Amino acid sequence: MMVKQHMLFTLYSICGIILKDILAVSVAATKNKVRGAQGQFPIVQNMTVTEGDIANLTCRVEHNDNTSLQWSNPAQQTLFFGDKKALRDNRIELVRATSQELTISISEVTLADEGLYTCSLFTMPVKTAKAFLTVLGVPKKPQIKGLTKPAMEGDHINLTCMTSGSKPAADVRWFRNEKEIKGAKEVNVSGKTFTVKSSLRLQVDRNDDGVAYTCRVDHVALIATPQQTTEVLEVHYAPRVEIKHSLPIPQEGQYLKLECVSKGNPSPDPVLWTKDGRELPDLDRMIVEGRELTFMSLNKTDNGTYRCEATNHLGTNHAEYVLFVYDPNALEQRGPDHALIGGVVAVVVFVTLCLIIVLGRYLARHKGTYLTNEAKGADDAPDADTAIINADGNHAHAEEKKEYFI
């Protein structure tokens, strides 16, 4: 009996030792688990998206033993708890849910979605991390106002370009054709977005006709494709006229074309040709085609003043060309005469220069003699003439005195 009791005691002791070891291992494992979970912090990143795009929010932990992760919006409403959706919003979807990651997406992002989102790790105590979602407001296509079509030459006009809905405020720039010009900028706040306006003040002239004025909007949300609007300025102005001719020296028998170049808006068509204030003579060798007046074979009867006149609703302008037809034979004979005249002129100029030089030298020399004689007789003379006479007299007396002593 005693042996049996001893054996039972020994067995109970062994079982107790084994149970104690099991409990110790279990407690240690539990402590390590709690310690590992408590040492984890969720990792998130701030996000910037453009209005209308998709925002992905990711929360990660390095080591996690099935502890739940949760995303909440700026209003502290739970979006997802693990893989369970908590908020009824069709735009919010689950992308990935594991023990170490919870990623959700928000489609068609609006400015109202901007704010601070919270990821929570449900340990004891709960660990959180916050990510700020920035939403960029896309500026609307700019509009140009104040353009009158057509504008009149000399008018003052104000062009205004405006865009709204940008966040942050957009940059508005003006271009005349492809060259940038500066406008007056104004920025106004409307809720979370900005309205930007830029103005140009112009005094238009004929050089502005057909010029393209472009308003361009630059913004961080439009890096690849900036928004812009272009308007082409139309300016009406009175005509200006000039006559171009094909011959420097018209001669008998030659072909001559006169072209009436008129610029105006509206275009001054047709133009009116006259000669010496009257209608053109009806000659077969004189042809009018549109803006051109053509002489098939010139003769001296064509001499006169030809006038081209252009008119539109803003005014009238004209230009004149005096036609003198030369005799070719007379031009050939006049050639030597021109050479002779040129030679005579050259000789006359040379002789004139020589006379001027000689006369200048004579006057300078005479003036020196005059001043010297004046100085000699200036001691006892009341004026310059008397001084010179005295100087001459003294000179004569000196010679007489010289002869006397000899």
Distances (CA, A) of 11 to 2, 7, 19, 383: 14, 6, 12, 167
Asked if 161 and 227 touch (Cβ cutoff 8 Å), the reply is: no
Q: Burial of 140 by CB count in 10 Å (0-12 exposed, 13-18 middle, 19+ buried)?
A: middle
Is residue 137 within 8 Å of residue 111, measured between CB atoms? yes
Q: What is the 3-class SS of 275-295, one letter each residue?
A: ECCEECCCCCCEEEECCEEEE
Give residues with Cβ within 8 angstroms of 374, minimum separation 6.
384, 387, 388, 391
Strand partners, 186: 197
Quick check: 324 pLDDT over 50?
Answer: yes
Name the nearest CA neighbour of 104 among 60, 47, 55.
55
CA geometry: angle at 192 spanning 189 and 197, to 5°?
35
**pTM here?**
0.62
In this predicted model, what pLDDT tens digit does every residue of 37-96 receive, in sequence order? 455 889 999 999 999 999 999 999 987 767 889 999 999 999 999 999 999 899 999 999
Q: Does 379 have pLDDT greater than 80? A: no
**CATH number of the domain located at residue range(s) 238-326 in this protein:** 2.60.40.10
For 285-315, write each residue's pLDDT tens digit. 899 998 999 999 999 999 999 999 999 999 9
| Gap between the terminal Cα atoms of the chain | 199
Superfamily of domain 47-136: Immunoglobulins (2.60.40.10)
* Least confident window among 45-54, 224-233, 365-374: 365-374
- In the chain, what percentage of residues exceed pLDDT 90? 61
Query: Please, which residues have CB within 8 angstroms of residue 356's CB and are 6 or more apart in sequence?
Result: none
> 146, 175, 142: which is closest to 160 by C-alpha?
146
Q: Domain 143-233 is in which class?
A: mainly beta
**Using CA atoms, how far apart are residues 177 and 183, in angstroms rounded to an integer?**
15
Q: Could you read off the pLDDT of 181-214 as tens digits, one per residue?
A: 999 999 999 899 999 999 999 999 999 999 999 9
At 356, the amino acid letter reads I
Give the list of residues 6+ apart from residue 25 with CB closer than 8 angstroms, or none.
Answer: none
Domain ranges, ordered by start, for the chain: 1-35, 47-136, 143-233, 238-326, 339-406
